[in-house]
Amino acid sequence: MAVTIRDVAKLAGVSRSTVSRVINAKGEVDPQTAAKVWQAVKELEYHPNTSARALVRQRTDTIGLMLPDVTNPFYEKIIKGIEATTNAAGFNLTFYNTYEDLAGRRRMILSAIEGGKVDGLIIVGSHLGDKSTLLEMIARGLPISLIERSFSDPSIPCVVSDNKTGARLAVEHLLSLGHRRIGFITGNLHYQTAIERLEGYKETLSQHGIPIEDELIAFGDFEHKSGYEAMRQLLALPMPPTAVFASNDMMAIGAIQAIGEAGLSVPNDVAVVGYDDITFASMVHPQLTTIRQPLYEMGALAAQGLIERLKNGLETEPFKKFLPVELVVRKSCGA
């Protein structure tokens, strides 16, 4: 059996409540007794039982992070930002991979929070079809923070970045380099970010008096493979684009592969811009010109907001953060 608080109490010659006071630094305790208790704790290598503690405290001090897939490189910086913040605040972090399973989402959220597995939840990048579930959860008062998904409803805490401006920066960069036939690879259009970036692309072209050609818009789903395929499609056009803006870096990397396989080179034959600035963007050759989202900061802010809410209860004002993005010029455009 594992060592319990009774064992520590016995060894230290005090009551269980005193041990509890000492290890939780609550209430006044004679320094002498405290020392004896710590001594016993060390000697027995006592570790308070997490379940027992959570049960009586009615909180777990852990936050859940729900996203499609932890192992997707896109989430790296968001995760690091969240992790740093939760760690600093003394919270544990546990991951929930949804694998896009819309049907299971509602149950997952409920079982996580209502089942007392976590005190609150951070949800990243949810599908537009999740709308009603999300609204219901918020209406119930469940402590939830959203990243990359916003609602006009002011009661919903969320942090998003400026996707439209991001797309504009990308397109204008290519325009300034002299490109006029600029292809676009969409993300999965069931996601808010994908839609906003597409809108940004279209609006920017229009503003510069360039007609939008449907054949220059290829549909992807944010995955590497779809970027590769979309690029092949664009390359097969009678008049292929001289530049391509992909809705995320993974697809941009896929596009670069397709360009290379076609015997063409980046940026000489085709310029490529990505989106996100994931770690890999600067690791591939040529290094990717891209739009940087402040992913680490977004994670940190979402975590911070949730933690505040957890500490102060519902009286905390729900926050809405709208973060700026920036163009990062590297090698894939020949700039």
Partner DNA sequence: CTGTTAGCGCCTTCAT
Partner DNA sequence: ATGAAGGCGCTAACAG
**Binding interface with DNA (CB under 7 A):** 1-2, 4-6, 13-21, 23-24, 26-30, 32-34, 46, 48-49, 52-53, 55-58
The amino acid that residue 259 corresponds to is: I
Provide, rounded to whole angstroms, the least separation between the CB of residue 270 and a copy of itself. Answer: 13
Residues shown for the chain: 335
Provide, rounded to whole angstroms, the least separation between the CB of residue 109 and DNA. Answer: 17
- Give the tokens for residue 263: 């015997």
Query: What's the Cα-to-Cα distance from 280 to each of 147, 189, 248, 333, rounded to whole Å?
Result: 21, 23, 12, 17
Distance CA 170, CA 249 (A): 12
Give the one entry of a copy of itself, DNA, none that residue 209 binds, where binding means its C-beta sits below a cut-off of 5 to 8 angstroms depending on kind: none
What does the buried/exposed string (b/e) look like for 31-47 if buried means 16 or more CB atoms within 10 Å of the residue's CB?
A: eebbebbbebbeebebe
Q: Which is nearer to a copy of itself, 136 or 215 (CB)?
A: 136
CB contact set of 220 (below 8 Å; sequence gap of 6+): 185, 186, 187, 188, 226, 227, 229, 230, 246, 247, 251
CB 40 within 8 A of CB 8: yes
Query: Binding string, 50-89, against a copy of itself, x = CB under 8 A?
Result: xxx-xx----x---------xx-x-xx--xx--x------
Q: Which is nearer to DNA, 2 or 103 (CB)?
A: 2
Give the one entry of DNA, a copy of itself, none that residue 29 binds, where binding means its C-beta sits below a cut-off of 5 to 8 angstroms depending on kind: DNA
Angle at Cα 73 formed by Cα 183 and Cα 199, nearest 5°? 30
Give the one entry of DNA, a copy of itself, none that residue 214 binds, where binding means its C-beta sits below a cut-off of 5 to 8 angstroms depending on kind: none
Provide, rounded to whole angstroms, the least separation between the CB of residue 62 and DNA. Answer: 15
322 forms part of the interface with a copy of itself (CB under 8 A): no
State the sign of the Cα–Cα–Cα–Cα dihedral 188, 192, 194, 198: positive
Distance CA 251, CA 123 (A): 23
Give the one entry of a copy of itself, DNA, none that residue 21 binds, where binding means its C-beta sits below a cut-off of 5 to 8 angstroms depending on kind: DNA
Give the one entry of a copy of itself, DNA, none that residue 71 binds, where binding means its C-beta sits below a cut-off of 5 to 8 angstroms depending on kind: a copy of itself
Q: Which is nearer to a copy of itself, 97 or 150 (CB)?
A: 97
Give the one entry of a copy of itself, DNA, none that residue 114 binds, where binding means its C-beta sits below a cut-off of 5 to 8 angstroms depending on kind: a copy of itself
Distance CA 299, CA 101 (A): 22
Distance CA 167, CA 9 (A): 63
Interaction site with a copy of itself (CB under 8 A): 2-3, 45, 47-52, 54-55, 60, 70-71, 73, 75-76, 79-80, 83, 94-95, 97, 110-111, 114-117, 224, 250, 253-254, 256-257, 260-261, 280, 283-287
